[in-house]
Homo-oligomer: A and B are copies of this chain.
Amino acid sequence: MNRIKCIVSYDGSKFHGFQVQNQFRTVQGEIQKAIKNICKDESIVIHASGRTDAKVHGRRQVFHFDTLREMPEKQWKRAINHFLPNDIYIIDSFLVDENFHSRYSATKKEYHYMLSMNDYSPFETNYIYQYGKELDIEAMRNAAKIFIGEHDFASFCAVDQYGNTIRTLYQIEIENNQGIVTFKLVGNGFRRYMVRHLVGGLIQVGSHRITKEFLEELIESKGQKKCLFKAKPQGLYLHEVFYK
């Protein structure tokens, strides 16, 4: 049995998210269909570092799968890309040992969220949230500090999710490049909708609708008071997954 690790990039615009769903076009579904062409007699299931939601993009998502098929490791990249549609691309492929797991071996993840304060652009609409107004960048940078460290992020997670909502955020950087704002978040893990709620809350601070103190109240309430601001999926990128 060979375990193959792939780094994959995808434009999320035309997918109903990552995870396989009957009758819907998904990233996992398309990748498994491509691999099926190569490993004809096997039933291959890929395991990603985590799911991404509909319209969310992947820059360097990671997945692995097991196969009996023997091939030089770099050949997998070429072979799978040959069968993939043009909005998914395998950047690299590796033969890894069986202790590697895309999800359980990941130590850190980096997400980026892109927002435009400029006039609307039809070219950016699927890739950068078209906010179209000025934001107070310094106020957002200042407020972002309260998220750093280990917290119970229950107030910033999807309401339908149970279980452990404690996560550690190592870094939030907010860059402004000619009106295009990029939020860069690095943490040991992110629950569903967590990045979009964190960024949504910061946008409210940046537009002076709420204060840093209100965001602090939310996080300290550990789920009792929910963050009601969720940034649109279009600006979100799973940027990188880190392993030991």
Contacts and interface: CB of A to CB of B under 8 A. Distances in A.
Contact of A123 (B57, B122, B125): B57
A208 to B, nearest CB: 25
Q: How many copies does the complex hold?
A: 2
Interface of A: 9-11, 57, 81, 86-89, 91, 119-123, 125, 127
A86 B10 CA distance: 21
A86 B122 contact: yes
A125 B57 contact: no
Contact of A89 (B10, B11, B121): B121
A120 B9 CA distance: 10
Contacts of A91: 119
Contacts of A123: 9, 11, 57, 127
Nearest to A125: B86
Contacts of A9: 121-123
A125 B87 CA distance: 8
Contacts of A125: 11, 86-87
A75 to B, nearest CB: 16
B127 A89 contact: no
Nearest to A81: B120
A28 to B, nearest CB: 15
A97 to B, nearest CB: 27
B120 A89 contact: yes
19 contacts: A9-B121, A9-B122, A9-B123, A10-B122, A11-B122, A11-B123, A11-B125, A57-B123, A81-B120, A86-B122, A86-B125, A87-B122, A87-B125, A88-B122, A89-B120, A89-B121, A89-B122, A91-B119, A123-B127
